[in-house]
Amino acid sequence: MTTRPWTLVTAGLLMVALTGCLPCGVLPGQAQRAPTAAPFVTSPTMAPQSSNASLAVPSQEQWLISLYKRANPAVVNIRVTKRAEGVLRFQPEQEQPPDEYVSGQGSGFLIDREGHIVTNNHVAEGAEEVLVVFSDGDQARGTVVGLDPDSDLAVIKVDHLPATDILPLELGDSEQVQVGQIAVAIGNPFGLQGTLTTGIVSAVGRTLPLGRQSQTAGGSRFSIPRMIQTDAAINPGNSGGPLLDSQGRVIGINTAINAIQGVNSGVGFAVPSALISRVVPELIKHGHYSYPWLGISGRDVNPDIVKAMNLAERRGALIIEVTKGSPADRAGLRGASRSVTVRDAQLDIGGDIITAIDGTPVRQFDDLLVYLIEKTTVGQRVRLSILRDGQPQTVELTLVERPQD
């Protein structure tokens, strides 16, 4: 299995490289909705063949200028002081704090008129001091009111808002986002406040292992499902800033890049607004978010597994490991029971294969992840359709809160 350097993009803090493994906690169904209206963009093939064709560029420029003027005042620069851990980088313009502390920065945006700022967990986590700098230069002290490492979301509340009237950014619907639509990022790459970059949504439905490390299920990371991929330039310091649609609505929070050296390579990732709208109100109210938990790790069924287990079904989620004492364990679900060698590599097989949850098909492990996060709550009873030794069975269990260790 190859690894990918999913890199969190906070400037001034240690870059974290994560392996691109399959999701191993559990969290994901993919409802299809009507697409959003197409963003303003002039197709070269449709441009009029006259001197008026030159008007298309100024029109699009004016659209971006207007969007920036509306949205930028709500985007902030977040500067934090944390206790030092390992080797960290400092921004040249920053005065180095005492040896036991380090400085870092990221981006964020105003979500309401009460002064709540949404950003990434990896920006705010461990912060002992938070300074929020608005686009007009006003500075406010911030307090971290909620953290969720499993969605990489955090909420900071400022002690005051600038005298100028700032409109909070509106959340869009990430489930309506389509590949090819315009994407606009605003943030503070390398500390350069109020930077706008543009591109397109280059993919949707990505699942990245950016959550906290699990102490169970093999020590793998919980994954964030349905992330939005974009080629809009995202660099260190953009973390926590908004990814906007053509109407200036937040469709995601810029969080990670796929890069070896920690700089933009045209592949950035944003936590979707559907997850933001679910998690952030709980962070404001309770300071944390409770995830429903099944207690398994697994992988997609592939042709090698189909052949090794002599399966009739060619899709599903194979359970590799069941966490002791979890709902899955109490319900009697089974993990892999043996290994076989396939092309000089060990392949774990023999576990139960989940084919549906509450009647919703599970074609791959991500489908289970998405359904649990978006469709269930702690304490809810769910019904799993499984294949055990090639025979269909139904298992019911009650979800509990994901462990906090």
Residue 41 has pLDDT above 70, yes or no: no
Q: Do the Cβ atoms of 214 and 186 come closer than 8 Å?
A: no
Give the pLDDT confidence score for residue 104 in this predicted structure: 86
How many CB atoms sit inside 10 A of residue 198's CB?
Answer: 17
Strand pairing report for 242-244 and 224-230: unpaired
Each residue of 92-149: pLDDT tens digit? 344 555 556 668 899 999 999 999 999 999 999 999 999 999 999 999 999 999 999 9
Given 107, 135, 150, 152, which residue is catalytic?
Answer: 152
Q: Mean per-residue pLDDT for 6-35? A: 38
**Which residue from 270, 256, 241, 232 is spatially nearest to 64, judged by alpha carbons?**
232
Give the pLDDT confidence score for residue 88 in this predicted structure: 34
Percent of residues in the chain assigned helix, strand, coil, to nearest 5 = 20, 35, 45
**Residues of 200-220 as b/e, b for ≥16 C-beta within 10 angstroms?**
bbbebbbbbbbbbebebbeeb
**Which residue from 392, 376, 366 is spatially nearest to 25, judged by alpha carbons?**
366
**Which residue from 200, 209, 222 is spatially nearest to 267, judged by alpha carbons?**
200
**Structural domain spans, the chain:** 1-27+74-83+98-286, 292-401
Please indicate whether residue 116 is annotated as part of the active site.
no
Q: Do the Cβ atoms of 20 and 3 come closer than 8 Å?
A: yes
Given 103, 107, 116, 122, which residue is catalytic?
Answer: 122
Please indicate whether residue 273 is annotated as part of the active site.
no
Please indicate whether residue 239 is annotated as part of the active site.
yes
Strand partners, 372: none
Give the class (CATH, top level) of 1-27+74-83+98-286: mainly beta
Fold of 292-401: Pdz3 Domain (2.30.42)
